[in-house]
Amino acid sequence: MSAYLGYEERDRSANPLDVLEQIVAANDWAFDRRSDSEMAAEAPGKWCDYGLYFSWSHEISAMHFSCTFDLKVPAGKRERLFELLALANEKLWIGHFGIDSDDGVPVFRHSVLLRGAPGASAESLEDMVDIAITECERFFPAFQFVLWGGKAPADALQAAMLDCVGEA
């Protein structure tokens, strides 16, 4: 590593978790800053509360972000949900859905590489969180249809993706 690169890394803007902490606090969401590299928060949604987890790696200049649903998936219903996840992931531009193997809860994950960037902007971090919550809200009904409504994954996704026009 050249002396220039070492200087450039030390001169970078603040830890992106500092900016995220301000965003989360401004939304009045409960949060816990566990260390310089980890933060957890809880965001309310229309269907459930979402658990947000942020992990910053200074070594690779990357932010890993996950958003978990407040929804437990029984082991016997996971196979159908995996099919739904594959179909839902085809519709995403950013991030992906999975199931946490330890807890059995659906999770939306996304990582952002910031190497060479002057730092993460508040706008890009807000977008990262907003996109995750928006996608979780959009697909939550499909998860419910498969888990508790007995729908086939493709049918559940189609029903959840209907865009309603107007108000009743």
In a domain, 21, yes or no: yes
Instruction: Report pLDDT for 45.
Output: 92
Q: What is the pLDDT of residues 102-147, one digit of tens each?
A: 888 899 999 988 877 767 788 888 999 999 999 999 999 999 999 8
- The crossing angle, in degrees rounded to 10, of helices 78-89 and 122-147 is 140
Instruction: Report pLDDT for 5.
Output: 36
If we measure between CA atoms, which residue out of 114, 113, 111, 115 comes closest to residue 95? 111
In a domain, 167, yes or no: no
Contact status, residue 33 vs residue 74, Cβ threshold 8 Å: no
In a domain, 90, yes or no: yes
Instruction: Report pLDDT for 118.
Output: 67
Instruction: Report pLDDT for 31.
Output: 94
Instruction: Report pLDDT for 164.
Output: 57
In a domain, 16, yes or no: yes
Q: Which amino acid is at 152?
A: A
In a domain, 128, yes or no: yes
Contact status, residue 30 vs residue 41, Cβ threshold 8 Å: yes
Domain coverage including residue 49: 3-160
Contact status, residue 105 vs residue 97, Cβ threshold 8 Å: no
| DSSP secondary structure string for all residues of 101-161 | TTT--EEEEEEEE-TTSS---HHHHHHHHHHHHHHHHHHHHHHHHHHTS---HHHHHHHHT
In a domain, 166, yes or no: no
- Regions in the chain scoring below 70 on pLDDT: 1-14, 118, 162-168
In a domain, 60, yes or no: yes
Quote the number of domains for the chain. 1
Contact status, residue 18 vs residue 31, Cβ threshold 8 Å: no
Whichever domain contains 9, its CATH number is 3.30.1460.70
Please list the residues that pair with 108 across neighbouring strands.
67, 97
In a domain, 107, yes or no: yes
Instruction: Report pLDDT for 10.
Output: 38
